[in-house]
Amino acid sequence: MVTVGEYEVREGLYYSENHVWVKVEDGKVRVGITDYAQKNLKQIINISLLDPGSTVNAGDAFGSAESLKAAVDLISPVSGTIKEVNSEVQNNPSLINEDPYGKGWLVVIEPSNLDEDLNKLMTAEKAAEWLKSIM
């Protein structure tokens, strides 16, 4: 794990400039929001996610997060089909604040072009450097 200021950047994940992380698992990807995003949103009170079976394109919203501070679109880092949504997070959005890289994951997507999408994302090292540049 890399720490940038007060923010965790987990190694072994990919990151987008939309503050979303990606973990590759058996040809699918698990997606969540970064520690930076959840800390800046503060207390998350509602999560809306597209249903399983929905298709998304990289750069399109796959849902939204609402906090006491703001409402934001959740931008997909990959193109593909949503296979699973984290219903625990929908029932208890504070899981994202408590464990953004674990229990606070949002969706599992079966990517349609994983290699191409991963090439557009940042490794943990690059994400840490990028985070330093925007702080």
Tens digit of pLDDT for each residue in 83-134? 999 999 999 999 999 999 999 999 999 999 999 999 999 999 999 999 999 8
Look at the alpha carbons of 105, 110, 57, 113 in this order and tell me if their dihedral is positive or negative: positive
Position 31 confidence tier, pLDDT thresholds 50, 70, 90: very high
- Domain at 2-121: CATH architecture: Beta Barrel (2.40)
Q: What is the identity of the amino acid at 89? A: V
- Please give the pLDDT value at position 1: 83
- Please give the pLDDT value at position 69: 85
Look at the alpha carbons of 114, 116, 117, 122 in this order and tell me if their dihedral is positive or negative: positive
- Please give the pLDDT value at position 85: 98
**Residue 135: pLDDT over 90:** no
Mean model confidence pLDDT for the chain: 96
pTM of the model: 0.94
**Residue 2: pLDDT over 90:** no
Q: Where are the beta strands (DSSP E) in 50-94?
A: 55-56, 61-67, 71-75, 80-85
CA diameter of the chain: 38
Burial profile 15-39: b = 16 or more Cβ within 10 angstroms, e = fewer: bbebbbbbbeeeebbbbbbbbbbbe
Q: What is the pLDDT of residues 68-85, one digit of tens each?
A: 889 999 999 999 999 999
